[in-house]
Amino acid sequence: MRVLIFGAGAVGGVLAAMLSPCHELDVAARAGRLLRIADEGITIQGAVERTERPGTRPRGRYDMVFIATKAYDVITASEAMRAFVDGNTIIVSPQNGLRHLDVLAERFGDRVVLAPTTLGAAVIGPTTVRLTSTGTTVVGSPSGRAERTAEVAAVLNEAGLRSEASDNIMGEVWMKAIVNACINPIAALAGIPNGVLLERKPLLTIAERACSEAVAAAEASGIALTRRDAFAWVKEVMRSTSENRCSMLQDLENGRRTEIDEINGELVQKGEAKRIPMAVNRSLWTMVRTAEGRRMP
């Protein structure tokens, strides 16, 4: 199978290194990153130790394309990848947040398979990724194309990346967005690992209120969440990732743009469109954008 990984950050790097021994695989990324990958390959350290040399000159049509860019780059990536897909190409999105849902559905229709993941990884060098956990990737087709879901799950499992098929993938994607919305901005603004939130009652209260708003937004949008007690699950993720410094915290520390617009910002807009008060999520959205040095839209 011909596979293209769009984006060579933490998740993209892991996907490229894990899938390349099994498939004809190329990586599409910014020119400087591609030159380093061509010279050095991609190295994973931690839960898996390996170095692989994927192709760095995408060409022709691919059977499967993973969009592993930052969430705010999905529109640009979806336009650039048109040269590499046709009506049978499966488009796989492990993106954070909610904005990619409408973007990809509009451009690629029933070819899209969503793949929210708990894979834990961080870039620690130009071509090196630390993998703390392979986690679980849940895959599903929003349009009900079970055969495409099965094909993506098989590709991931064959590569050693545990995956499960879901017949409620929208509930899974929203649930992950809610978890991210309740943990990432608070940990980022406080400058702490995820687990410390459990020890600081004022911060945990903010997370609980953000969760309550987000759940109300989901219900008003007709989404059946995959967890009956959403905040209990948020706290479980805090515990299971207690040592993690979330990507939003890493982005703020390194002066990079975060994915706050695509996570809390998108929840705010969807909730307010249904007349759900979203004051806590709007406040988190505002504060993280201010910390980035960006004005609110």
Burial 15-24 (b: 16+ CB within 10 A, else e): bbbbbbeebe
Q: How far is CA 4 from CA 12, 42, 129, 142, 242, in A?
A: 10, 15, 19, 21, 33
Sequence-distant (6+) residues with CB within 8 A of 59 are 26, 84
Catalytic residue among 176, 201, 235, 274: 176
Sequence-distant (6+) residues with CB within 8 A of 77 are 6, 7, 67, 69
Sequence-distant (6+) residues with CB within 8 A of 8 are 16, 27, 29, 33, 34, 37, 42, 68
176 counts as catalytic? yes
* Number of other CB atoms surrounding residue 74 within 10 Å: 23
* Number of other CB atoms surrounding residue 281 within 10 Å: 29
Residues with catalytic roles? 176
